[in-house]
């Protein structure tokens, strides 16, 4: 990979984190926690994005971030107060920022209009602040800054184009303000960069350092004079100070001997005046006599010898970061570790089985040692799984944006309350959760919550409330989206289902069954196809996405009080809860999520239907009966179903079926192993796993098995047609 691309990759990864940080900070501010720490965190996030974006030349991004940063800086220095309207603007700005970052990442064009609107709004805020109590300071700053900007252009245009500049001497006077260090910039780095442009003579002025007792650890007391001999144009020199020029006093001038003398005189007075004169007489001797040292040495000296303001600041920054130290690890490595631990677990189980087969008593030292090993292996497995586990917070935070946008579009006022954002779940589950969750949130705001006037009429607060929560429940994660809207309009849902021919008009359905109709493919309650939820994707897509993750969805709704959608998902995709069954002497695993219930077929409940097909009656419904042993060709003749057990399963498409197996061994968590790696896809089999006895067991693909009867029928039809 191109090295630049991988650096960019890292930048964007960090951007993601900074954006999350930014948004969570802003949400805190919105909740009234506008303390210095939060504001600083928000500011740091924006500033880091700006730094990286500048380095990669994402101009549009830099431009926007700069305006954003300036606003936050005003907030930080209490020149702006965090009013609700300000935080709303900032939140929208953060949305735009994340769009711009995505555009930069995918190399697409972002919505420049939105960016400009927000930027203009932010700029207007700057004006307000400047007009406020700190007017003087502001105007002073801008006075100082303005001429610099103009001179940059003129010099660049004139000398840059016409004549290539010969070696020039620049005198750079640089006095950082505390703000420079607060933004995690470092003087040392700037000086080093300068030294790379040419020959630099750096001199540090330490006169302003107060007594230790008066020293403000976060203050800035040092200033530098740099004499730089370089063939680079002035613009290049200025570029080095690009990110700090708002936080320092900077004066760059082209030196002739007279100016040099002046500059040195100014810099060294009053005590060192004699040296200065000597220096003026013969410039080369400055190096020897004047208290100047080359850049890196000066920097090092500065760090060691003086209580440089940069240092305490840097340490403070580190301290904040150290609270949660993380490392980036390639996902492949983690997965390999997880695989190895899976093997360890299997191996340990095999060992235990062998020991018990060898007739050693449970009290023997070997058996006791094995028990300890088992405990350890289980701990290791949990810890390794925890590496892939991540809090759902980033996904939840994205939802707050969705709520804002949809609420704005529909003219509703909605407050999103999040709960349990720290709940951890496997990374893959998180990644695949975003889309269905976004859809559910959109639906809840669009269809669930009523318009403000309707809410007031119903005696509810004008602002609707949407609760997004995550909890761990019996080895699964349960995510709930609850609104306090009108609830599901069952009469209407029923009517729509009848109109669309999804259910017969005379169908007698329970409330729960009616609620579940919205999961049917082709069902959409929106009478107009709106921009928000009616995109041709209904709740059936959401349900299928959740089921593909091994999850289940359910609804509960109280008319007038709201609806709650809840989904229960496995914590990881590497293991699966399965029902271990025996079929034709073979051990198979049926995913537990597919199983609704188990039945003991009775002679009177099994009915023949046509040629060889059988159905089973359960709760007044007839369900097709499928002999798994026949489908997988473990046997040629069906055996008496009453000697078997039926598993009532539901496929992802909602079709129900009863699978006949010989016996149920029990319920177990199994590690999923791919069959495709070394073999290929096998019809009716989803994957394989390794059981405690070391043998491979196949995991049943319930969907394929359920879809089988129809496929057989088609095949039979095709054959009979061919025969004719």
Residues 6+ apart with CB under 8 A from 361: 367
**Smaller CB distance to other proteins: residue 455 or 673?**
673
**Smaller CB distance to other proteins: residue 244 or 589?**
589
Q: Which of residues 584-613 bind other proteins (CB under 8 A)?
A: 586-587
Sole window of 73-81, 133-141, 248-256, 677-685 interacting with other proteins (rule: CB under 8 A):
677-685
Angle between helices 84-106 and 3-30 (to 10 degrees): 170
Residue from 340, 386, 548, 716 in contact with other proteins (CB under 8 A): 340
- Other C-beta atoms within 10 Å of 619: how many? 8
Cα–Cα distances in angstroms (integers) from residue 138 to residues 86, 130, 145, 176, 502, in the given order = 20, 6, 11, 17, 67
User: What three-state secondary structure class fits 47?
Assistant: helix
Is residue 616 within 8 A of residue 625, CB to CB? The reply is yes
Which residue, 379, 372, 378, 353, is CA-closest to 695? 353
**Smaller CB distance to other proteins: residue 486 or 691?**
691
Distance of CA 464 to the CA centre of its chain: 26
**Smaller CB distance to other proteins: residue 351 or 682?**
682
Is residue 381 within 8 A of residue 338, CB to CB? The reply is no
Residue from 677, 720, 721, 724 in contact with other proteins (CB under 8 A): 677
Closest distance to other proteins from the beta carbon of 625 (Å): 19
**Smaller CB distance to other proteins: residue 209 or 685?**
685
Query: Exposed, middle or buried, 48 (CB in 10 Å: 0-12/13-18/19+)?
Result: buried
Closest distance to other proteins from the beta carbon of 678 (Å): 5
**Smaller CB distance to other proteins: residue 390 or 587?**
587
How many residues are listed for the chain in this entry?
A: 724
**Smaller CB distance to other proteins: residue 108 or 677?**
677
Sole window of 52-60, 526-534, 649-657, 685-693 interacting with other proteins (rule: CB under 8 A):
685-693
When asked if residue 669 is in the footprint of other proteins (CB under 8 A), the reply is no
Closest distance to other proteins from the beta carbon of 685 (Å): 7
**Smaller CB distance to other proteins: residue 60 or 347?**
347
Cα–Cα distances in angstroms (integers) from residue 565 to residues 13, 378, 415, in the given order = 32, 34, 17
Residue from 619, 679, 723, 724 in contact with other proteins (CB under 8 A): 679
When asked if residue 180 is in the footprint of other proteins (CB under 8 A), the reply is no
Residue from 154, 363, 680, 723 in contact with other proteins (CB under 8 A): 680
Closest distance to other proteins from the beta carbon of 474 (Å): 27
Residue from 682, 692, 707, 709 in contact with other proteins (CB under 8 A): 682
Residue from 309, 342, 570, 591 in contact with other proteins (CB under 8 A): 342
Residue from 414, 546, 684, 708 in contact with other proteins (CB under 8 A): 684
Distance of CA 80 to the CA centre of its chain: 30
Cα–Cα distances in angstroms (integers) from residue 271 to residues 258, 265, 267, 277, in the given order = 20, 10, 10, 12
Q: According to the 3-state scheme, what is the secondary structure of 408-476?
A: HHHCCCEEEEEECCCCEEEHHHHHCCHHHHHHHHHHHHHHHCCCHHHHHHCCCCCCEEEEEEEEEECCE
**Smaller CB distance to other proteins: residue 567 or 626?**
626
Residues 6+ apart with CB under 8 A from 432: 545, 548, 549
Residue from 388, 393, 673, 708 in contact with other proteins (CB under 8 A): 673
Closest distance to other proteins from the beta carbon of 24 (Å): 40
Sole window of 367-375, 551-559, 636-644, 686-694 interacting with other proteins (rule: CB under 8 A):
686-694
Sole window of 234-242, 464-472, 637-645, 669-677 interacting with other proteins (rule: CB under 8 A):
669-677
Q: Which of residues 344-383 bind other proteins (CB under 8 A)?
A: 346
When asked if residue 166 is in the footprint of other proteins (CB under 8 A), the reply is no
Closest distance to other proteins from the beta carbon of 675 (Å): 6
When asked if residue 674 is in the footprint of other proteins (CB under 8 A), the reply is yes
User: What three-state secondary structure class fits 58?
Assistant: coil
Question: How far, in Å, CA of 230 to CA of 346, rounded?
Answer: 68
Give the count of alpha carbons within 13 A of 608, CB side only: 5
* Site size toward other proteins, by CB under 8 A: 30
Helices (H), 243-285: 257-268, 273-281
Is residue 261 within 8 A of residue 273, CB to CB? The reply is no
Sole window of 84-92, 356-364, 406-414, 690-698 interacting with other proteins (rule: CB under 8 A):
690-698
- Other C-beta atoms within 10 Å of 379: how many? 10
When asked if residue 333 is in the footprint of other proteins (CB under 8 A), the reply is no
Sole window of 314-322, 546-554, 657-665, 674-682 interacting with other proteins (rule: CB under 8 A):
674-682
Sole window of 289-297, 334-342, 536-544, 640-648 interacting with other proteins (rule: CB under 8 A):
334-342
Question: How far, in Å, CA of 396 to CA of 549, rounded?
Answer: 18
**Smaller CB distance to other proteins: residue 474 or 677?**
677
Closest distance to other proteins from the beta carbon of 673 (Å): 5
**Smaller CB distance to other proteins: residue 213 or 679?**
679
Which residue, 95, 712, 33, is CA-closest to 399? 95
Closest distance to other proteins from the beta carbon of 634 (Å): 7
Which residue, 203, 216, 16, is CA-closest to 105? 16
Residues 6+ apart with CB under 8 A from 341: 377, 380, 381, 384
Per-residue mark of binding to other proteins, 615-654 (x: CB under 8 A): ----------------xxxx--------------------
Q: Which residues pair with 579 in a beta bridge?
A: 590, 667
C-alpha distance across the termini of the chain, in Å: 60
**Smaller CB distance to other proteins: residue 176 or 629?**
629
Residues 6+ apart with CB under 8 A from 103: 60, 109, 110
The residue ranges that bind other proteins (CB under 8 A) are 339-340, 342-343, 346, 586-587, 631-634, 673-675, 677-685, 688, 690, 694-698
């Amino acid at each position: 990979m191109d090295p630049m691309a991988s650096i960019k990759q890292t930048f964007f990864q960090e951007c993601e984190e900074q954006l999350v940080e930014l948004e969570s900070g802003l949400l805190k501010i919105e909740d009234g926690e506008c303390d210095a720490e939060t504001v600083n965190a928000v500011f740091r996030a924006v500033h880091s994005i700006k730094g990286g974006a500048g380095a990669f030349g994402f101009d549009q991004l830099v431009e926007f971030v700069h305006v954003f940063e300036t606003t936050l800086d005003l907030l930080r220095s209490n020149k702006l107060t965090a009013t609700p309207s300000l935080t709303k603007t900032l939140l929208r700005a953060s949305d735009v920022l994340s769009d711009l970052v995505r555009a930069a990442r995918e190399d697409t064009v972002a919505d420049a209009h939105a960016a400009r609107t927000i930027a203009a709004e932010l700029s207007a805020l700057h004006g307000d602040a400047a007009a406020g109590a700190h007017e003087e300071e502001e105007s002073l700053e801008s006075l100082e800054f303005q001429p610099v900007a103009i001179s940059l252009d003129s010099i660049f245009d004139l000398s840059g184009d016409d004549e290539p500049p010969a070696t020039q001497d620049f005198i750079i006077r640089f006095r950082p303000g505390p703000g420079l260090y607060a933004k995690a910039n470092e003087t040392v780095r700037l000086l080093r960069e300068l030294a790379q442009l040419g020959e630099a003579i750096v001199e540090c002025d330490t006169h302003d350092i107060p007594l230790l007792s008066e020293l403000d650890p976060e203050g800035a007391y040092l200033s530098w004079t740099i004499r730089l001999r370089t063939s680079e144009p002035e613009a290049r020199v200025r570029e080095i100070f690009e990110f700090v020029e708002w936080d320092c006093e900077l004066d760059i001038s082209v030196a002739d001997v007279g100016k040099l003398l002046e500059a040195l005189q100014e810099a060294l007075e009053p005590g060192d005046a004699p040296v200065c004169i000597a220096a003026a007489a013969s410039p080369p001797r400055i190096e020897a006599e004047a208290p100047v040292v080359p850049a890196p040495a000066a920097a090092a000296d500065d760090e060691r010898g003086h209580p440089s303001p940069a240092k305490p600041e840097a340490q403070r920054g580190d301290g904040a970061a150290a609270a949660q130290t993380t490392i980036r690890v390639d996902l492949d490595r983690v997965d390999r570790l997880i695989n190895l631990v899976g093997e360890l677990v299997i191996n340990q189980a095999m060992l235990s089985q062998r020991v018990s087969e060898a007739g050693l008593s449970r009290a023997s030292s070997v058996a006791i040692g094995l028990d300890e090993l088992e405990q350890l292996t289980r701990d290791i497995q949990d810890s390794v799984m925890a590496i892939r586990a991540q809090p759902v917070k980033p996904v939840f935070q994205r939802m707050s944006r969705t709520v804002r946008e949809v609420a704005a579009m529909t003219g509703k006022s909605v407050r999103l309350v999040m709960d349990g954002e720290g709940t951890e779940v496997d990374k893959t589950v998180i990644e695949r959760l975003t889309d269905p969750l976004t859809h559910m949130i959109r639906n809840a705001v669009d269809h669930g919550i009523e318009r403000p006037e309707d809410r007031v009429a119903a005696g509810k607060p004008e602002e609707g409330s949407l609760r997004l929560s995550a909890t761990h429940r019996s080895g699964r994660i349960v995510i709930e989206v609850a609104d306090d809207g009108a609830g599901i309009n069952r009469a209407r849902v029923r009517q729509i289902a009848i109109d669309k021919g999804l259910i017969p008009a005379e169908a007698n359905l329970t409330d729960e069954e009616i609620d579940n109709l919205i999961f049917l493919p082709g069902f959409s309650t929106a009478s107009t196809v709106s921009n928000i939820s009616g995109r041709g994707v209904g709740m059936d897509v959401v349900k299928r996405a959740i089921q593909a993750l091994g999850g289940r969805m359910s609804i509960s709704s109280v008319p007038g009080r709201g609806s709650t959608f809840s989904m229960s998902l496995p914590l990881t995709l590497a293991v699966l809860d399965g029902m271990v069954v025996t079929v034709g002497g073979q051990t198979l695993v049926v995913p537990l999520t597919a199983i609704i219930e188990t039945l003991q077929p009775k002679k009177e409940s099994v009915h023949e239907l046509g040629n060889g097909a059988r159905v089973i009656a359960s709760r007044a419904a007839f369900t097709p009966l499928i002999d798994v042993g026949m489908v997988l060709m473990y046997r040629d003749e069906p055996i008496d179903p009453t000697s078997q057990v039926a598993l009532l399963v539901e496929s992802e498409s909602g079709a129900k079926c009863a699978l006949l197996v010989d016996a149920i061994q029990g319920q177990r968590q199994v590690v999923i192993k791919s069959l495709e790696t070394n073999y290929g896809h096998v019809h009716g089999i989803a994957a394989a796993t390794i059981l405690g006895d070391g043998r491979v067991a196949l995991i049943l693909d319930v969907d394929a098995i359920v879809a089988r009867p129809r496929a057989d029928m088609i095949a039979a039809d095709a054959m009979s047609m061919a025969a004719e």
